[in-house]
């Protein structure tokens, strides 16, 4: 992997990977950075590095969450709630970042990770199924359930079918 390839990957996917890791750990930057360093150390990089990065970040973030829970349960949860997940939006008509953060945090873990991986990570449902386990159709159903729950949380009416 060349340095240019690594720079492109970092610029395109570092933010989404950080958001993906933030749902488990209070230090998502370290987890994402470690995942990129692991990718660089591979003698033969994977054909599609993006799903590979999401799988590595997922495992590392969940391990970090378990370790932080063993150390100090309550302080970690407080840190996770205060860190902003989204940058301030310039569009006043768009969704509120803080509200979206609260709505995402309220989702179950398995639903939330699928929503983040698909909406902000750009993974297909097949790739998501390979990362989290299960089938692509199961991943799609959970995604649809997550979108419906977010719509209710944020008060966005469901479009009526004609």
Residues that bind other proteins (CB under 8 A): 1, 3, 6-7, 10, 12, 14-19, 28-30, 32-33, 36-37, 40-41, 43, 83-87, 89, 91, 94-95, 97, 100, 118-125, 140, 143-144, 147, 150-151, 156, 159
Phi first, then psi, for residue 41 (nearest 5°) are: -75, -15
Closer to other proteins by Cβ: residue 55 or 128: 128
Structure tokens at 104: 């995402």
Q: 23 near 110, Cβ under 8 Å? A: no
- Smallest gap from Cβ 160 to other proteins, in A, equals 12
DSSP state of 123: -
Closer to other proteins by Cβ: residue 73 or 82: 82
What is the C-alpha to C-alpha distance for residues 149 and 104, in angstroms, rounded to an integer?
A: 9
Closer to other proteins by Cβ: residue 70 or 161: 161
What SS3 class is residue 22? Answer: helix
Could you tell me how far CA 62 lies from the centroid of its own chain?
A: 12
Closer to other proteins by Cβ: residue 70 or 91: 91
- Smallest gap from Cβ 142 to other proteins, in A, equals 12
């Amino acid at each position: 992997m060349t340095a240019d390839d690594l720079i492109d990957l970092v610029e395109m996917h570092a933010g989404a990977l950080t958001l993906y890791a933030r749902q488990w750990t209070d230090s998502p930057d370290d987890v994402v950075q470690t995942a990129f360093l692991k990718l660089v150390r591979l003698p033969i990089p994977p054909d599609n590095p993006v799903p590979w990065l999401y799988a590595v970040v997922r495992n590392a973030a969940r391990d970090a969450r378990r370790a932080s829970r063993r150390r100090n349960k309550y302080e970690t949860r407080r840190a996770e709630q205060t860190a902003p997940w989204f940058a301030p939006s310039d569009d006043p008509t768009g969704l509120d970042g803080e509200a979206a953060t609260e709505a995402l945090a309220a989702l179950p873990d398995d639903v939330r990770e699928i929503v983040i991986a698909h909406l902000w990570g750009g993974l297909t449902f097949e790739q998501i199924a390979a990362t989290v386990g299960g089938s692509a159709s199961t991943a799609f159903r959970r995604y649809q359930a997550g979108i419906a729950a977010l719509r209710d949380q944020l008060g966005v009416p469901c479009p009526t079918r004609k």
